[in-house]
Each structure stands twice: as structure tokens, then as C-alpha cells.
Amino acid sequence: MIRIGVDTGGTFTDLVMLGPAGVSVHKVRSTPDDPSRAIVSGIQEISGSTGGAEVVHGSTVATNAVLERKGARVALVTTAGFEDVVRIGRQTRRELYNLMQEDRRPLVEPELTFGLVERLGADGEVLEAPDLAAARRLAQQLSDTGVGSVAVCFLHSYRNSAHEDAVAAVFEAAGLQVSSSHRVVREYREYERWSTTIVSAYVTPIVSRYLTALESCLFGSRLSIMQSNGGSISASAAKAVAVRTILSGPAAGIVGARAVADMAGYPRVITFDMGGTSTDVSLVDGAISTTTESMVGDFPVRLPVIDIHTVGAGGGSVAYIDRGGALRVGPLSAGADPGPACYGQGTMLTVTDANLLLGRLDPEYFLGGRMALDIERARAVMLPLAAELKVSELALAEGVVRVANANMERAIRVVSVQRGFDPREFALLAFGGAGGMHACEIADTLDIPTVIVPRYAGVLSAFGALVADVTKDYSLTVLRAGDAASIAQLDELMQPLVAQAESDLENEGFTLGPGTAYVTKELDVRYLGQSYEITVPFAEGFREEFDRLHARRYGYANAARPTEIVNLRVTATGVTRKPELPRTEVSGPIEAVPSRIGPARFGGKTVDTGFYRWEDLAAGSVGHGPAVVAGAQATAVVPPGFSFRIDEFGNLLAVRGVAQGGRRRQNTAVAVMS
């Protein structure tokens, strides 16, 4: 069966197909009012049919529902006395010194919040049974008022689910759609669990409708969805756990980036996705890093998601001089409309304008020649700022790029240094519209030795959807003394999670077996008394591994201090068929020939720079900076002192000094999944 990865973006819907003849790529204009139209016509165009394919989809439906407030009307039912837990949150304000900060806008209307008499103790013991008669009255009232779904959130339900189950059954019997907190995430800390549950209740109806409609348009095909954790899941299963698709699109991008880096021979990369308004960075240390501490808009979502750190600096970020006389870039962005000045409409100086003035964008071959750039307009918005700072326009342009880079370097430090990783041991993989123009200079500042700009930078998310494995994750808070718990006891506690994982894999169509469909077990461990956990593989000696990771991340460990096991984690993985990318054998280095030589600005000097068209460069081509390599999907800027080569997949690899020709390692061109 052919497989198709699909990513829905704001402007384009990207498709990557793995068919009998290999991989092919297609782009169609998105249809934001109903994303499925573009998907269906794209699939029709790329494969000639809408049936008989396996389609894996990175969707923004759930995210947009939250960000644009288009989700379901949700009723919230909590333990009586705790109705405002989610309103209060952690009782903190977002900004310390801003007297005019806005309040968070809750997803649940205050008049749809209800307290129900029931209470469990911290060990799950019943202190007061749920008032089911009141629940029935409420169910009647809610079905009369027509709410879209109900979030049932009781204290300590991670310990004992009986009360939530009993009350959920009452609401379901009345025909209401229910999200119970222990089913969404079985972990302690009520605010985060309940918030996740409300988001789930908020997005489930809309995602479910969307998937049902899409499935019927793709009759005969099998539809799967990317989840925030970087794995895919069948559409039918996704309808029940829609909240797990909330960062579907960005997750697909990281999976794609990782697969490309792996093929290129770099299993350890920092991905760097620079778009128009923001930049996403993430760290891949062999495996993709996940976190359970993410936020969607104002709301914590305590489910495993790919650990992506976002900063408000992108190609459209606006440069200005503040009252103290310092040059600042972002977070204000010119966005897509009006966009950078050089696009022809904008009136503010952006990072893209600065790149153009520096000669780092080829005005004749922007987006492969699909869009003309207005350099005079960029210069006109630059001049007043340069005059105010009393510097030349080129010095200012370089400054704008440096300040933007500084913001992005800080983001890379957050995902690497702050997590105990040394960025010098990683490669930097740049994608998104502007990533390749900044990556070398950023890598240089952080002493990152290698930069990778994928040839298919523009369709990495669709590619990621195509190569993603099927995964599901399960967790359970246990709060047990780590040193008293035996492996056998823990294993027993994990059994229900494992059984569920195995049955879910079988429902996804997999047969259990090593390397094809398997279950991995992990523990969240901390020193007794701490509040943050480190996830370690579940095995004899997990204690030593915990000490080792603690020391790496925080600089110290104490083998004598007792530990606590907070959560059990189980992940089910079903391995999918991986595409073989078109690969050209590289015999030896070929000197790349620029299409022209022109001026560009680096390090305060204007220097003769080679301008290359990516599509003209054969595998094995080598060249040196200063160079601008412009392709249909990405532009790579290679500063003086760097050299580059094109690998067998068409990716550009840049290093400081002289690039080695040929391949870095013998590699079977298949993304190896762990």
C-alpha cells in the first residue's frame, strides 16, 4: 500500500508520498476554512486516487481550536469546594512588573462550572461517596442546555478512579460526551491534570468531527494522525484522545528533521525551525526529547509532547530602537500581512529585510524565483533607524541579524545547556523559511561544529508524518519510596499499563515482536522531597542511572539520599515502513560552480560571494564561504571561513574550515528507529 504524509500549514498543504517508485513531493494551497478539502485534492493529485492509501496527517485542528477559541462549550464538574482550582491556577501572575497584564481567559464559562459532593483521601480512600442523585439532575440540566462535552475532575482520582467513573457513567447515560481526568492523564497535581482534561473536553468534539469527515472523503484509505509525542495513531483511536494531537504539526516537523539528520549520519542534532514570527528549537539526542510540562496557550497540558522551545524571533520580526537607545528585534512581527518591507507592503524593518540588504538573499531566486523582492523598499525603512543610531545601513543590517541570532542562541541554550547537554556535541539542523540563513553564525557562536540544511526543508513535517512510528503512552502516579520498591513489585504495578499498551498496538494492526511492535517501560524518579522528576529506563540499576542523569543535568548527585518513584510510564511503539530517499552515489568531491559572484556583507566587510542554485548542485559538490545557496524550499548562507558540501540526499552540510568530500559514514539510508 502506498503511504502519504500530509502536513497542513497556514498557506500550503504539503504531501510526501512513498509509493512503488519511491518518494515524491507535492504542494497544494491550503483551505483554512476546511483543511480537509486541500488534503483530499492533494492526495487525489499526488496518487491519482483517494482510496487505498495509508495517510498520516499532521493536523492543526486541535491547536487552532484552543488558540482561536473555537472548541466545544464545556461544562466542568469538580469536587465540591474546588470549583475554582483551574481559575486560580498556580495563583501566580505571568509578568512581575506589568501592572496592566491581561487575565487568562478560561476555556469554561463560570456558569458552567459545578461542584459535586464527593471526596477521596490522598491514598484513594473514600471519605464521602459521590452524590449520584445530584449528578443525575445536573446531567439532565446539561443535556437540556446543550453543552458540547463535560470534564469530570475530582481530587485524588489518579489514586482511585471509582468516583470519576461513576459520575462519568451518569453523564454518558444522558448522552453527553465526557472527559474524566484520570482517563486523560493518571498523574497527581490537580491543576495540571484538570487543565489537561478541560483542553481534552474542549477539542475532542471538533477533532472528532473533523476526522470523521476526512475519513469519509478518503474512503478506502487508512487515516492516521500525528500526536504531540512524535508518534502517529489511527484516526479512530485519536478521536477518543484528541488532546494528544494538540501539537501534531510541530511534532511531525521534529520527527522529519530527526529522520533526515539520521540519514545524513548525525543522530545527535538540535533542530532549528525559523519561520516568519517565531523560531522553534528542540534537541534530539539519538531519541527525540519529550516533556510533560508544556502549555497550549494559557493552559498546561500534562501529556508527553516533544520538548520544543519557542522564541518570538523569526524572519518577520520587527527591528526598532527602544527608549534606552538599544536596538531590539521582536517579538512584534510583520507576519505574513503586511510582511517584511521587501515583500512590497510592509513599512517596518524586519530580519528578512536585513538579510536582503546584506546580500544574503538572492532577490532573483527567492523561493526558487517565485517571488520578487523590493530591495529599495527595504533600504527606505532601514535609513531612519541607521541615522538614529549613527551607523551605516549595512552595519545596522548586520546588527539586526546579530540581535535576532542572540535571541535564538538563548533558545538553543535552554534546550541544551539548561538540560545538561553540551551543544558542541550536536549538529544544528536548520529548516523553516529562514533557518538556513542564520544557522552557520549561530552555530559558530555556540561552537556547534556542523550545520545541516535539508534539501526538502519545506516539507519536513509531511515527511515526518510519513516516517513516524505508531506510539501510545500511558502513565500512573504511584509516589513510592524508590529504595523499598523491588523491580518485581514495580513490574506488577506496570502490568495493567502494559496490557493496555499491547492491546492498543494490536488494535492498530500490529503483531507484537521485537523491532516491529514493542512496549518500553520507564520510571519518573526524584530524590525524596524534590518536586521535579527525571525519567529513567525501568531496569535493575535505575537508581544509579537516576544519580547519573541528575548529576549531568544539575551538577550533583547524592547516592545516599533516598529516592521516590513518582510515575510509571509505558510506551507502545509500532514500527512503520520507512522510505528510502532518492540517493545519488558520491564518487568524489566536485567543485561547485556559482551561478554568479556578487557582493554580500559579512563581519563588517563587503566581500565577493558565490551565489549558487541548490538544484544545480550535484551530490558531492563542495564549496566554501562566503556563499549563498538558494533553493526552491530553503536558502543556506555560508559565511567566510566555512565550507559546505552537498550530500548524497541533496542536503547541504556546512562546517567551519574545509569540508571533507564524500560521505561521513556508510549508511543504509533508512531512518533507524530505536
Partner 1 sequence: MSQRKTKVDPIEFEVFKNLFVSVAEEMGVTLCRTGFSPNIKERLDYSCAVYDAQGETIAQGDHMPVHLGAMPLSVRAAIDDVAMEPGDIVVLNDPFRGGTHLPDITLVSPVFLGHEKRRPAFYVANRAHHSDVGGMTPGSMPLAREGYQEGLIIPPIRLARRGEIVQDVMNLIRANVRTPDEREGDITAQIAANRVADTRLREIVEKYGRRRIDSYAVALQDYTERVLRITIAGIADGVYEFEDYLDDDGFNSGPIKIRVAIRINGDRAEVDFTGTDPQTTGGVNANYAITLSATLYGFRCLIAEDVLYNAGIARAVQVIAPEGSIVNAQRPSAVAGGNVETSQRITDVILGALAKALPDQIPAASQGTMNNVTLGGLDPRTGRRFAYYETIGGGMGARPGLDGISGVHTHMSNTRNTPVEALEHYLPVRLRQYRLRKDSGGDGSFRGGEGIVREYEVLTETAVTVLSDRRKGRPYGAQGGEPGQSGRNTLINKDGESVIPGKATLTLAAGDRLRIESPGGGGFGAKPESA
Given candidates 514, 556, 585, 588, which one binds partner 1 under the rule CB under 8 A? 556
156 touching partner 1, by CB under 8 A: yes
Of residues 31 and 530, the one with the C-beta less far from partner 1? 530
Total residues at interface with partner 1 (CB under 8 A): 66
Reduced to 3 states (helix: H, G, I; strand: E, B; else coil), residue 407 is helix
Applying CB under 8 A, does 307 fall inside the site for partner 1? no
Of 417 and 593, the one with the shorter C-beta distance to partner 1 is 417
162 touches partner 1 (CB under 8 A) = no
C-beta of residue 620 within 8 angstroms of C-beta of residue 588: yes
> Is 645 in contact with 247 (CB distance < 8 Å)?
no
Is residue 548 at the binding interface for partner 1, with CB under 8 A as the rule? Answer: no
> What Cα–Cα distance (Å) separates residue 93 from each residue in 90, 97, 435?
9, 10, 33
Interface with partner 1, residue 448, by CB under 8 A = no
Q: Length of the chain in residues, anyone? A: 674
Q: How far is the CB of 41 from partner 1 (least distance, A)?
A: 45
Of the residues 20, 146, 220, 555, which one makes contact with partner 1 according to CB under 8 A = 555
* 560 is a site residue for partner 1 (CB under 8 A): no
Q: Is 102 in the site for partner 1 (CB under 8 A)?
A: yes
For partner 1, the closer of residues 407 and 643 by Cβ is 407
Distance in angstroms (rounded) separating the CA atoms of residues 149 and 179: 8
The least distance separating partner 1 from the CB of residue 216, rounded to whole angstroms, comes to 42
- Quick one: DSSP state of residue 244? G
Query: Least separation, in Å, of the C-beta of 607 and partner 1?
Result: 20
CB 213, min distance to partner 1, A: 39
β-strands 590-591, 178-180: how paired? unpaired
Determine if 191 is a binding residue for partner 1 (CB under 8 A): yes
How deeply is 438 buried, as exposed, middle or buried, from its count of CB atoms within 10 A (0-12, 13-18, 19+)?
buried
From the list 108, 155, 334, 632, which residue makes contact with partner 1 (rule: CB under 8 A)? 155
The CA angle 234-237-241, to the nearest 5 degrees, is 120
Contacts to partner 1 from residues 74-93, by CB under 8 A: 81-85, 87-88, 90-93
Least distance (Å) between residue 477 CB and partner 1: 9
100 vs 488, which CB is nearer to partner 1? Answer: 100
Q: Is 659 in the site for partner 1 (CB under 8 A)?
A: no
Between 191 and 202, whose beta carbon lies closer to partner 1? 191
Is 73 a binding residue for partner 1 by CB under 8 A? The answer is no
Binder among 54, 190, 362, 473 for partner 1 (CB under 8 A): 190
Please select the residue that binds partner 1; options are 554, 559, 615, 657, rule is CB under 8 A.
554
- In the complex with partner 1, the residue whose CB is nearer, 169 or 557, is 557
Q: Is residue 160 at the binding interface for partner 1, with CB under 8 A as the rule?
A: no
Least Cα distance to 205 among 179, 166, 229 occurs for 179
Verify binding: residue 480, partner 1, rule CB under 8 A.
no
Q: What is the dihedral of CA 112, 247, 153, 570, to 10 degrees?
A: 170
Question: Considering the rule CB under 8 A, would residue 105 count as an interface residue with partner 1?
Answer: no
Stretch that binds partner 1, among 20-28, 400-408, 429-437, 464-472 (CB under 8 A): 400-408
Three-state SS sequence of 486-543:
CHHHHHHHHHHHHHHHHHHHHHCCCCCECCCEEEEEEEEEEECCCCCCEEEECCCCHH
Stretch 519-538 residues interacting with partner 1 (CB under 8 A): 527, 529-532
Q: Residue 384 CB: number of other CB atoms within 10 A?
A: 11
DSSP state of 148: S
What does the block give as the cell for 47? 496518487
Look up residue 96 and give its three cell numbers: 512581575
The torsion defined by the Cα of 412, 416, 418 and 424, in degrees rounded to 10, comes to: -100
Angle 224-71-89 from CA coordinates, rounded to 5°: 110
Q: Residue 627's Cα: distance from chain center in Å?
A: 31
Contacts with partner 1 by CB under 8 A lie at 81-85, 87-88, 90-93, 96-103, 121-122, 155-156, 158, 188-191, 321-329, 389, 391, 395-396, 398-399, 402-403, 406-407, 409-410, 413-414, 417-418, 479, 527, 529-532, 550, 553-556, 558, 561
